[in-house]
Amino acid sequence: MQLVIHAGAHITDEDRLMKCLLNNQDMLRERGTQVPHPTTYRRMLRDVLHAARQKGIAADTREVLLDELGFEDEPTRLILANPGFFGTPKMAASNGEFYSSAQPRIEIFRQIFHNDEVEMFFGIRNPATFLPSILAQTKYDSIDAYLNGTAPTEMRWSEMITRVRAAIPDIPITVWCNEDTPVIWGQILREMAGVEATQELAGEYALLREIMSREGMKRFKTYLAGNPGMTEIQKRRVITAFLDKFAQEDAIEEELDLSGWTEELVNELTDLYDEDVYAIGRIPGVTLIEP
């Protein structure tokens, strides 16, 4: 069995990936792929992870989990998603590193599904916007307290990815930037679903509707209908061109209201993020989806 783990990060796609895949469930099921609704397994997997840390992993854990999901036959590909797989918002950037529990938790998944092909999917986000947003979901009153004194400029997603790869080198990792998702949404969906690049999916342009004007979406759909068979690269060029002309600025701009979060710091963090993304793309075993 192929097991796909979509482990976050928090405050990226907000479960829209799973909703899109669920909307394509009939087609995916015909191909042996199951996308159970998150409510059927998130609490269960959380309990399994906690129990494994305290008592170890029972020999029948895999079979119990699949039975609880209620499959008549074992799927060829199983997709599970939870931004909390690697911890709560409190744990997302505490102690001066992103998701310090990522390594031990992915090791537990690897042990439970030791005879299966496990893949990890992970969306990252510019720390300039991620840190203030995730801080708001914790009880910390400052970035300094949240990061335990580590400077925001020292935070690197590549450190987390490298840590996971070093612990479990046989698990391929697919990474993308949340800021790019409107352009690469279709590819993310298809890569996660394990379908060919030409497979059309319901909802593959859903994110565009959130940031493009109604007139822009109407023209975009008309253009697609008149130009069937475009490659993924051609579609991205078209999407980029339409966004350049029809993007709603108020839908793509974020307001940052955090003490000490100056424009200079935001620009510095953004430059460091760009360098970090480049570093992630060079990590062996990591596929970086880019526009």
pLDDT of 260: 80
Residue 88 within any structural domain of the chain = yes
Query: In total, how many domains does the chain have?
Result: 1
- In this structure, what token pair is assigned to residue 47? 């309990």
pLDDT score, position 138? 95
Does some domain include residue 242? no
164 found inside a domain = yes
Q: Compute the average pLDDT of residues 42-54.
A: 89
pLDDT digits (tens, 9 = 90+) for 202-226: 999 988 988 999 999 999 999 999 9
> Residue 232 to residues 221, 237, 283: CA-CA distances in angstroms?
16, 9, 24
Domain, as residue range, for 278: 2-212+247-289
Query: pTM for this structure?
Result: 0.94
The two three-digit tokens of residue 2, written as one number:
């192929």
On the question of pLDDT at 249 being above 80, the answer is no
On whether the CB atoms of residues 148 and 200 are closer than 8 A, the answer is no
Q: Does 13 map to a domain?
A: yes
Map tokens 């963090």 to a residue: 269
Does residue 189 sit within a domain? yes
**Considering the domain boundaries, does residue 220 fall inside one?**
no
Task: Please say whether the beta carbons of 13 and 87 come within 8 A.
Answer: no
Contacts of 149 (CB under 8 A, 6+ apart): 96
Q: What is the pLDDT of residue 55?
A: 87
Report the alpha-carbon distance of residue 107 to residue 105 in Å, rounded.
5
Q: Label residue 84 by pLDDT band (50, 70, 90).
A: very high
Residue where the block lists tokens 């319901």 = 202
Helix crossing, 102-112 with 42-55: angle to 10°? 100
The enclosing domain of 118 has a CATH number of: 3.40.50
In a domain, 155, yes or no: yes
Specify if 38 maps to a domain: yes
Find the mean pLDDT for residues 225-246.
89
Going by pLDDT thresholds of 50, 70 and 90, the confidence category of residue 258 is confident
